Amino acid sequence: MEHLVLRTQSPTILCLGAHSDDIEIGCGGTLLRILDTTPAASVWWVVFSGHDERAEEARRGAELFAGDRLAHFEVHDLQDGFFPEHFEEVKERFRSLDVSPDLVLTHRRKDAHQDHRMIGELTWQTFRDHLILEYEILKYDGDMGSPNVYVPLDEAYANNKVQYLADAFRSQRSKYWFEREVFLSLMTVRGVECKSRYAEAFYGSKLVLRG
Ligand SMILES: [Zn+2]
């Protein structure tokens, strides 16, 4: 297996999340790794639903994961669970994104959650000549699939990810799925699939290779 790398010296990574904590859960370890290995990389961070405490948590999460590489941060206040009813509003938010990223990390278009799914679909409608990788979120609905892009993570990245999640999202701690073991378990499974201790996995449904 050969490895793909971002060839741009100072890549811009656009992270899109329906809710406060989605980006961190879906691709937090990958971000930590990329920012560590690509010193000039910068991050745009967009969360579409976050009110009050959840908005503050979104900012805290972005700061923990992206640090001083956070070039842009925005959190909107769309109603959790009702994105399809506000399609025009969500689409308008996408239109206003004044960035041409080298890599877009977003929700999976086949995600069972309607808000996640819409963000995934609008990502593809908006970014027509960009590298898009769709991250996965483990949930009750049982929509895990077979991803085809893996980012191996060593223990430090995985442990920092779960620690930052716990630090940033205190309001979520009572949820049964917001557990260190849950996050580490999925990263362990994806690690087995790419011969690494841990990994995060993505769906890359279209890749253009330019040599
Ligand atoms: Zn979510």
What pLDDT, on the 0 to 100 scale, is given for residue 1?
Answer: 40
In terms of residues, how long is the chain? 211
pTM, whole model, 2 decimals? 0.96
A 10 A CB-CB count for 186 gives: 19
- CB 3, CB 33: distance < 8 Å: no
Using a 10 angstrom Cβ sphere, with 0-12 exposed, 13-18 middle and 19 or more buried, the burial of residue 198 is buried
Q: How far is the CA of 22 from the centre of ligand 1 (A)?
A: 5
Q: How far is the CA of 195 from the centre of ligand 1 (A)?
A: 28
Task: Write the CB contacts of 62 (distance below 8 Å, at least 6 apart in sequence).
Answer: 23, 43, 45, 70, 73
Task: Write the CB contacts of 147 (distance below 8 Å, at least 6 apart in sequence).
Answer: 136, 190, 201, 202, 203
Cα dist from 177 to 7, 28, 170, 210, whole Å: 36, 17, 13, 40
pLDDT tens, position by position, for the chain (211 residues)? 445 566 677 899 999 999 999 999 999 999 999 999 999 999 999 999 998 999 999 999 999 999 999 999 999 999 999 999 999 999 999 999 999 999 999 999 999 999 999 999 999 999 999 999 999 999 999 999 999 999 999 999 999 999 999 999 999 989 999 999 999 999 999 999 999 999 999 999 998 888 7
Q: How far is the CA of 139 from the centre of ligand 1 (A)?
A: 9
Buried b (16+ CB within 10 A) or exposed e, 36-67: eebeebbbbbbbbbbeeebbebbbbbbebbbe
Q: How far is the CA of 209 from the centre of ligand 1 (A)?
A: 31
Q: How far is the CA of 155 from the centre of ligand 1 (A)?
A: 25
Q: How far is the CA of 199 from the centre of ligand 1 (A)?
A: 20
Q: How far is the CA of 32 from the centre of ligand 1 (A)?
A: 20
Q: How far is the CA of 47 from the centre of ligand 1 (A)?
A: 10
Nearest to 133 by CA among 99, 159, 106: 106
A 10 A CB-CB count for 209 gives: 5
How far is the C-alpha of 201 from the C-alpha of 159, rounded, in Å?
A: 17
Q: How far is the CA of 67 from the centre of ligand 1 (A)?
A: 22
How far is the C-alpha of 14 from the C-alpha of 47, rounded, in Å?
A: 11
What pLDDT, on the 0 to 100 scale, is given for residue 2?
Answer: 44
Q: How far is the CA of 8 from the centre of ligand 1 (A)?
A: 30
Residues within 5 Å of ion ligand 1, judged at the Cβ atom: 18-19, 22
